[in-house]
Each structure stands twice: as structure tokens, then as C-alpha cells.
Amino acid sequence: MAERKLTRHEMREAALLILFQRKLNPETLDELLEDCKESFEFEYNSQSVKLANGVEEHEDELNAIIESYSPSRKLDRISYINLAIMKIAVYEMKYCPSVPDKVAINEAIEFAKKYNLADKGFKYVSISLDSLDITEIDKCRFLIGVTVPYSMEIPKGFGTLNIRAGLYSVFNIKGNYQELNKIYRNIYLDWLPNSKYRLREQMTFELYANTPDKTSTEELMTEIYLPIEAKQKIK
């Protein structure tokens, strides 16, 4: 079956989503594309894959170029979606002579407006797919997303997940994310067994009030939401 012809804008957007998903999922390209097509229902074509591969092949060079124009902010303090947007633009300006520089820049601006959700007041959220009281923290699987209103039109390439309301114990943590493992152990091994509560069937999740790209490590704020219910009294 012949692939559907995408506009240049759609092709770039598909390449952006491929780059973003490959950062999150270390799968083979074929596995990744199949997962994306089934889970997120976005379309891509051979040109999308070619553009994404080109960006990855020249990643070190593109990073160096971007960093040279951003002396006040290191690359690890730029969100990956924004970094991927810039890499595509720089790659096209350097390696795609048929694409005018102005077009590559304008497309990057449009994608930044669409996908840079954190700047619109939304919060990043991380959802645990495994029970942290029985699974080692470094082996737990997580979903990463942002909070959005019901009325929002979800960008192509992303899905939605509703977190059910209920009783949660909320832990407000300030500081380095690397300390969260220790805090989780304290919650599950000390606080929970000695509390009046037990876990209920709902996913544990974290909300991030700020992010490392704009906040120092010491000032990072994390909220851990632990789904709980009262322990039944033994008669």
C-alpha cells in the first residue's frame, strides 16, 4: 500500500514525535513506529523517518551549534521537546538546501508554541505503572505527561489518561530528584506500615511544580500522591 503523502509541516511534526518517543523508549525503529502508530495514531512517512534519522546521525554537531548560540543555558537545562524542535530546524538549514532558512525557523516557532505546554501553566506529571511497595524503584515503569484541561485539543502524537479522584496522602519534597528513591523507601517501609492507611488500587503519581531547565536543583519541588484508604479494623 502506498504511503499517504504528507505536507512538509506534517512530515516535520511526525519526525519531531519520532525523535521525542525515541528519547523516551530505547526500542528499535520498527518497534517504536509500530507502537506510536497503535498508541498515538499519528501518521508518518519515509521522509519523516529520514529527517529523524538525519537529526540523530548529526546529533553531536547539532548540539554544538545550538550550545554556541545559548551560552547562558546548558543543553541539559532545555526541555527535550524544545531541543528536538531546534535540532530539526538547524538540521534543515544546514543539510536541506531546498528548505529556506525562514521556513525552517517559522516551523520551529509554531511547534514550540504547540508543544511547550509547561509555559502555559501546566504541570509535569509522572505516573507509576508498578507498585512501589513490591517493585524495586529502579525497575519500575513510569508514564510522563502534563496536566491539561478537558477542553484542550490534544496535540497529534499524544494520548490522555484520567487519574481517578480519591483519598491520597501528599508528600511535598524540596530538592534533588535523586533523593526521591530514599523518600519512597521511607514512605513504604516506615510511614505506611505505621499509619492508619493502606494502599488502594490506583496508581501513585508525582507532580512537579517546577523543572530543572528553569530551577536550581536545591529548589525543585515535587509532590508525591500516594493513593490510600483506611485500614479495616479487626473485630
How would DSSP label each residue in 20-56? HHHHH----HHHHHHHHHHHH-----HHHHHHHHHHH
- What letter does residue 190 receive in the DSSP assignment? I
Predicted local distance difference test score (pLDDT) of residue 179: 85
More confident: 138 or 146: 146
**pLDDT score of 163 more than 70:** yes
Q: Is the pLDDT of residue 226 over 90?
A: yes
Q: Which helix (H) or strand (E) holds 171?
A: strand 168-174
Q: In order of start, what are the domains of the chain with their CATH numbers?
A: 8-115 (1.10.940.10), 124-230 (3.20.80.10)
pLDDT band at 3 (very low <50, low <70, confident <90, very high): low
Centre a 10 Å sphere on the Cβ of residue 86 and count the other Cβ atoms it contains.
Answer: 21
Q: d(Cα 52, Cα 78) in Å, to the nearest integer?
A: 19
In this prediction, residues 85-109 reach a mean pLDDT of: 91
The share of the chain scoring above pLDDT 90, in percent, equals 24
DSSP string, 99-159: S-HHHHHHHHHHHHHHH-GGGGT--EEEEESS-TTTS-GGG--EEEEE---TTSPPPTT--
- For 196-217, how does the pLDDT look when each residue is reduced to its tens digit (9 = 90+)? 999 988 888 998 888 776 788 8
Q: Is the pLDDT of residue 27 over 90?
A: no
**Least confident segment among 63-77, 88-102, 115-129, 155-169:** 115-129
Please state the pTM of the whole predicted model.
0.56
Q: Which region among 7-16, 100-109, 143-152, 192-201 has the lowest average model confidence (pLDDT)?
A: 143-152
Residue whose cell numbers read 517501609: 189
Q: What is the mean pLDDT of residues 15-26?
A: 76
Grid look-up 535540532 returns: 87
Residue 2 has pLDDT above 60, yes or no: no
